[in-house]
Structure 1
Amino acid sequence: MHNIRWDDLQYVLAVAEHGSLSAAARALGVNHATVLRRITAFEEDIGQALFDRPPGGYRVKSEMREMLAAIESMGRTAERIERVIPTLGKGLEGTIRLTTTDSIADLLLPRILGDLARLHPKLSVDLMISNRHVDMARPDAEITLRPTAALPEGLVGTKICTMGFAVFAHPDYLTATPDTDPQQHRWLAINLPRSPIRDWQDRQIGSAVHLSADSFLTLSRLAEAGLGIAMLPAFVGRSSPKLVPAPAFPDLLEFDLWVATHPDLMKTERVATMMTFLADAIAAGAEFLA
């Protein structure tokens, strides 16, 4: 057992999670033979097989699940170390990684980050723009700034304000298509699987989707071109001089805007200061988002 290395355990975890050598190899960015070699070496070190090998995949033996749980615990510890090491001793210097949506990055952050640069000139920000769910258990980002119905488990943070959503379109489109029946409209739909708007779309729009995208900014540009009608964050719709609320669809949805991080990082001055700054700056203009 003293010969077991953490590198080998990463391969074990990948195979256990993905269920096959090929899927684990893709996740780790290595070839199939490397995964097989490391799994075989691990099993030789412990003196017994960890996996059953039924046709089409790998499955952890029932009697080895306790060992797998211990390995998974080691994996979580290693991820905590990866998250914390870059923050040690840096104070308000260095780089902080912030993930948010393209709408927030484009319409809210330029002014806020300008103010941040003046207050903390030695602190740089690495923006990770993604409209899809980000796993904050991984060390890719330190802070997330996103609207959500509830803060995901495993994160801690601050509810900044309420974000409103409403239906917008170009005036010419509304003049040409004044119907109150949603099925008579060309809908521009968001296709994000975890978007809080998806349930509303499923209820109201059904199959009447003309175009879809994974970005509210893109949907707003399509609506500006007169290509259809869309449920948008209110601040996105109001930021466009070419869009107006659709009176036939007065639905107003609201979701909380959160700034959050992993509990391990909340104790660091750099992360805590950045989160407080973002929350205060956005809350000061909360009416723009409502």
Structure 2
Amino acid sequence: MDWLQVIVLAVVQGLTEFLPISSSAHLILVPVLTDWQDQGLAFDVALHIGSLTAVVVYFRREVWGMVASSLAALRGRGVDREATLALWVVLATLPVCAVGFVLHDVIEGYMRSTLIIGLSLIGFGMLLGYADWNQRGTRSEYHIRLSDVLVIGAAQVLALIPGTSRSGITITAALLVGMSREGAARFSFLLSIPVIVLAGGLEAVGLIQQPQAIDWPVMAMGSLLSGLSAYLCIHVFLRLIKRLGMQPFVLYRVIFGAWLLWFFHS
């Protein structure tokens, strides 16, 4: 891999991992617009490490609070709001883990087409627009109920469809059950932590099964750039949605999806 490829892939991954615009939709453009070879599993793992580090560092207070409170609850010291939030994150993650494990080969083999990605960008983008346009909720991530968690967890399963966007569909569901824009986004980002850990873990298993020479400087640079761009993305996104909502991302999704359908299927 040359350094331009490292920079482009790392920044694209870091930005699109958390914006509601679908990372898979953007990453398919890289081999189309360039003659670069596949970056390999090792680089994918490095990018996931960067993204994971970014979200954990950004929400370090929340993460530490959830871990400490959960350990205290296991010792019989009571369940506070941080321990409850940790439980909600775990419960909302279980459906996508179960379905993803069962349907992994089907998704990778039959659903990663530009037609599905383009239609998903447009369809789920318009659903996000509807949820945001009708948003009246004020509840934060600390004020959600079990019924809300079940809805958001079920919606996250739809993120297995390429082009849907994990953050996009979980934010949509959170808005529909009455959360504020910022609360929906923050809960979505917290949900990304176990998902990224599991996705990176699966890739790491594949890497172990198919040993290859590792270019450590390339891995380190990719992880660093992915992490920096992801951290910046989270920070700007949370500030932006307070003023503009989700509509700019909805418009972008619809235009991008329509372009994909025209470019590949016209």
Q: Same fold (TM over 0.5)?
A: no
Query: Which structure: greater helix fraction?
Result: 2
The structure, 1 or 2, with the larger RCO (C-alpha pairs under 8 Å, 6+ apart) is 2
Q: Which has the larger radius of gyration?
A: 1
Give the TM-score, by structure 2 length: 0.30
